[in-house]
Amino acid sequence: PFRPRLSENSVPRMASLLLAPISCVGSALAQCAGACAATACCKLLTCGCLASPLSTNIFYSAILLVATVAALILRYTRQDLSVCVSGDCDDGSASTWMPTGSASYDLCEGGRCEGMWAVFRISFSLAALFSVLLLLSCCKSEFSVLVHRGFWAAKLIGLAAISVGTLFTPNDVFAYYAWVARFIAPGFLLYQLVSFVDAGYTINERLVDRDEESPPRPLLCFANGSGVAWKGLNLLLCLCLYSALLAGTSAMYYFFPQADCPFNPSAITSTLAMSLLNTGLSVSNVAPHGALLTSAFVSAYCTWVCYGALTAMPYADCNPSAGTEGVAMTAVSLGIATATVAYLTFTAARREERRASDKGRGAAGGGGGAADA
């Protein structure tokens, strides 16, 4: 039978003819997939996706919580953030997160990025993100609401990009950042103080209102026929706070040297004097709106801040705890900061939701009046 002969070049040509449609289809599919991915990324980054006020505040609080936990881990484990990817930049003095290879680059400009340097980088990333959000949402408008409660993917990607960018920045930059931050940080202390004032008035008002209900609300499983149970709980909280204040003040007088360290007695005495003055004003006719519970909150918080200032003294002659890590101090401070952020989160969200509902009821009432007219 007749059998056609195939030349040496005919097989590659036939394979090319067979693969040409497949390659065209594959190229078209790749282009479609790339276009779809680009469109999805653009929509993800530009999507408003407005969240409720409560969800927005919880999301921001979650960012702060994750960043704080990461900063604590990096501080106390002293894991170096330097990423060495060459065979000669790791001299064994610093631990790295990546194995050495043929490429040659060492992040953090060859400096050690462990301990407080890692904390400074995380703090700088958060400060940069929230500073941008502050500038974009400082004026009340629809755009500011959209920036504040939307663009979540863009915010997360921006925070990640800033964090990665800090790895390329030398430590000297963050030394200046830490120096500037120590002058800005007292603003947060004042903000916490205002939060304690608001919390004290709110708790005091709610406890008093429960006794003045008709009939008075019982305190857990205890009857409240006389209508003084919640006021008694209010006084018990005040007693506990003032007892802690006096115990802490006595401990500071005892443990911190007084003779050759003029700052110690002046700080302790001035804090105690201001606490007593604040308490006296709250129960006098000078401040008819004053509340003893609010004064107790503020006085106890100021005493704790005084203790933090004394333990931050770098001189061992005036500070017996100088040179120690101060894990307990950090834990309690973080607990206070967490409680403050949580309180502000829920109170601010409740205030925004109440304002929105009042506006909605006003619009509905106005519409009804116009229809009746």
pLDDT of 93 reads 46
CA dist., res. 129 & res. 119, Å (int): 16
pLDDT tens by residue, the chain, 373 residues: 545 554 555 545 555 555 556 666 556 666 666 655 555 555 545 555 677 877 888 888 888 888 888 888 888 777 766 665 554 554 544 444 444 444 444 566 555 677 888 889 999 999 999 999 989 888 888 888 888 888 888 889 999 999 888 888 888 888 899 999 888 888 888 888 888 888 888 888 888 888 887 777 777 776 767 778 888 888 999 999 999 999 999 999 998 888 888 898 999 999 999 999 988 888 888 877 878 889 999 999 899 889 988 888 888 888 887 777 667 777 777 787 777 777 777 777 777 777 766 666 665 555 544 444 3
pLDDT of 341 reads 78
pLDDT of 271 reads 93
Contact 171, 117 (CB under 8 A): yes
Contact 241, 297 (CB under 8 A): yes
pLDDT of 328 reads 74
Q: Which residues of 144-168 are buried (b: 16+ CB within 10 A; e: fewer)?
A: eeebbbbbbeebeebbeebbeebee
pLDDT of 96 reads 46
pLDDT of 99 reads 47
Prediction pTM value: 0.69
Token pair of 99, please?
């194995």
pLDDT of 98 reads 46
Q: What are the residues whose beta carbons fall under 8 Å from the beta carbon of 249, sequence distance 6 or more?
A: 268, 271, 272, 303
Contact 149, 133 (CB under 8 A): no
8-state DSSP, 225: S
Q: Rounded to an integer, what is the distance from CA 316 to the centroid of its chain?
A: 32
- Model pLDDT for residues 64-99, shown as the tens digit of each residue: 888 888 888 888 777 766 665 554 554 544 444 444
